[in-house]
Amino acid sequence: MKKLLTLAFTLVVLAFTANMAGAKDWKKVRIGVEGAYPPFSAVSKDGKLFGFDIDIANALCKQIGAKCTLVQQDWDGIIPALLARKYDAIIASMSITEERKKKVAFTHKYYQTPAKFARKKGSGIEITKAGLKGKTVGVQRATTHDNFITGKFGDTVKIKRYATQDEAYLDAVAGRVDLLLADSVAMEDGFLKTDKGKDWEFVGPGYTDRKYFGDGAGIAIRKGDKDLAAKLNKAIDAIRANGVYQKINAKYFKFDVYGS
């Protein structure tokens, strides 16, 4: 009996030790970012990442006491690279959707802004089934905007999909698309307010349909890394409470990007 108790105790200790050995302290965190979605993330002429997402990532890392490495990744492969352990989290304006939850887990949101269409000034295009019939709409591939235009207007419009939002802007200027659909803030700052977008304007309402756009932009993590998700959730709450979030917000926007 004593030997059985000793064996049972030993097994418990070994299991506890194994769990402790496998547990992560998250003092080092690798974060996947896109770097091609201003004003949320972009790359400067000297090769440095900057933008709202980048500043939020750095603020959250400081809050949890982690040394973070930002890893730039094309959007198309951003979730596969997380699952392949190229990095530990994604901070790249990724909407929290039911479809994505099948593959990854999310923190709660850190911002939420509506999607909008843009048209060339003077085109007179209206956002109705009739107004969109036969028109070509440019969107970034594999995004919520891609899902929305496909689901709501796919039987009416022609859809051109791009690897980056900048590629869509370039085709708009070149006259290869009639409309753009993107996050309203990203498109305003990254296109409409720039010289290349001066001949374009917003048209129609803002869209936040949960079926397509989810619950705002969150941080994606692997489903097994619940401890990291918990740390990041606490950090999001902390930087919103201590004013750090508001300072970053004011650096890029004249309104509360967090949303209701």
For residue 11, being part of any structural domain is answered with: no
Same domain, 244 and 124: no
Amino acid 11: pLDDT = 47
For residue 4, being part of any structural domain is answered with: no
DSSP 123: -
Same domain, 55 and 182: no
Per-residue tens of pLDDT for the chain, all 260 residues: 444 444 444 444 444 444 443 458 899 999 999 999 999 999 999 999 999 999 999 999 999 999 999 999 999 999 999 999 999 999 999 999 999 999 999 999 999 999 999 999 999 999 999 999 999 999 999 999 999 999 999 999 999 999 999 999 999 999 999 999 999 999 999 999 999 999 999 999 999 999 999 999 999 999 999 999 999 999 999 999 999 999 999 999 999 999 98
- Work out how many domains the chain is built from and give that number: 2
Same domain, 157 and 179: yes
For residue 94, being part of any structural domain is answered with: yes
Query: pTM (2 decimals)?
Result: 0.85
For residue 13, being part of any structural domain is answered with: no
For residue 39, being part of any structural domain is answered with: yes
Amino acid 48: pLDDT = 97
Domain that residue 122 falls in? 115-213
For residue 80, being part of any structural domain is answered with: yes
**149, 207 contact by CB (below 8 A):** no
Amino acid 78: pLDDT = 98
For residue 3, being part of any structural domain is answered with: no
Task: Please name the helix (run of DSSP H) or strand (run of DSSP E) that holds residue 159, with its range, or none.
Answer: strand 158-162
For residue 259, being part of any structural domain is answered with: no
Same domain, 192 and 231: no
Same domain, 139 and 187: yes
Q: Give the separation between CA 129 and CA 182, rounded to whole angstroms.
A: 19
Same domain, 180 and 126: yes
Q: Are strands 136-140 and 67-72 parallel, antiparallel or unpaired?
A: unpaired
Omega into 39 within 30° of 0, i.e. cis?
yes
Amino acid 5: pLDDT = 43
Q: What is the CATH number of the domain that holds 180?
A: 3.40.190.10
Same domain, 196 and 123: yes
Amino acid 236: pLDDT = 98
**92, 75 contact by CB (below 8 A):** yes
Which one-letter amino acid corresponds to residue 110? Y
Amino acid 56: pLDDT = 98
Same domain, 231 and 104: yes
Same domain, 119 and 208: yes
Amino acid 23: pLDDT = 56
Same domain, 90 and 127: no
Same domain, 221 and 164: no
Same domain, 208 and 125: yes
